[in-house]
Amino acid sequence: MKSIIRAICAAGLGWLALQSPVQAEDTIEAVRARGVLRIPGIINEDPYFNKDPRTGEWRGFAIEMARDIANTLGVKLEVVESSWPNSILDVQSGKADLALGVTATPQRALSVAFSAPTYFNSFVIVSPKAELSKLSWAELDDPKYTFAVDLGSSQDLIAQQYLPKAKMLRFKSRDEAIVAVVSGKADGLVNTMLNGLVMTKKASGIGKVLVPSPVLSTPSVVAMNWKADEKSRAFISAWAEYNRRIGNNQTWIVKSLAPFGITLDDMPEGFGFGG
């Protein structure tokens, strides 16, 4: 079942490859000429991104990954403040060169090109209710359960697919979804492994990360403009594949989780960043 989401994404990319090609632009040379690699950054999105309000410095594993790409190209890194939905638009419009920490979905493949996976994440339920811990996605798909999710996110798409019978509370922000669980309005929150682990450390009463079966593993990728030339796309995919396989991406992720007291020992059995 791990391969389901990967296969869907691959199918979306394969369909697009058959369509009329767009005019390619040498993205790498444009970045080198500018001397700056631009990426979208999202505030309060640990462990991916965060910005220190006092110093203006950005942190997070997506920042570390982007900084390594910039260093490889011999340029500086510039972070453009954005949001998850707008980060795709930023790449489309040319406001940003790349977007990191993106979940590969067929819908997004209509707007941007994807690199090879940088790491694999899993969809989970975060809940204070122990009785949910042994249930499968099929067993959780019941009208007696109420779940919260942030509207329009990749976890919202998963909820629509795997929990269509359950009552779903959709919120504009993740913080609102968290409040719904802590206040008892929802039995749990649908999200991803990394977000869930940080939630359990930051939100009192949110409960624990639960991994329903089957494990739904999804690739996180780098999003690129469809106009990027083949060389630029190949470079980003090679960078992603290399750093995932030798463990650099996992090292950056674990480092970003350390301030919250999260280590590899906190990862549920069977979960791995390499897919």
| Exposure b/e, 31-69, CB count within 10 A at least 16 = b | beeeeebbbbbbeebbbbbbbeeeeeebbbbbbbbbbbb
What is d(CA 17, CA 9) in angstroms, rounded to the nearest whole number? 12
What's the half-sphere exposure (Cβ side, CA atoms, 13 Å) at 34?
Answer: 15
The answer to whether the 3-119+219-266 and 123-210 domains have the same CATH topology is yes
Write out the CATH class of domain 3-119+219-266. alpha beta
- Min mean pLDDT across 101-115, 180-194, 234-248 is at 101-115
pLDDT tens digits, one per residue of 159-211: 999 999 999 999 998 899 999 999 999 999 999 999 999 999 999 999 999 99
- Min mean pLDDT across 13-17, 67-71, 255-259 is at 13-17
Mean pLDDT (whole number) for 220-236: 95
What is d(CA 187, CA 145) in angstroms, rounded to the nearest whole number? 6
- Min mean pLDDT across 89-93, 149-153, 245-249 is at 149-153
- Does the pLDDT of residue 66 top 70, yes or no? yes
**What are the boundaries of each domain within the chain?**
3-119+219-266, 123-210
pLDDT tens digits, one per residue of 25-39: 788 999 999 999 999
Tokens of 94: 């040319």
Tokens of 250: 């996992």
CATH number for region 123-210: 3.40.190.10
Burial degree of 260 (CB within 10 A; 0-12, 13-18, 19+): middle
- Does the pLDDT of residue 23 top 70, yes or no? no
pLDDT tens digits, one per residue of 120-169: 999 999 999 999 998 999 999 999 999 999 988 889 999 999 999 999 99
- Does the pLDDT of residue 269 top 90, yes or no? no
What is d(CA 159, CA 157) in angstroms, rounded to the nearest whole number? 5
- Does the pLDDT of residue 11 top 70, yes or no? no
pLDDT tens digits, one per residue of 253-264: 999 999 999 998
9 and 116 in contact (C-beta within 8 Å)?
Answer: no
Quick one: pLDDT at residue 10?
A: 47
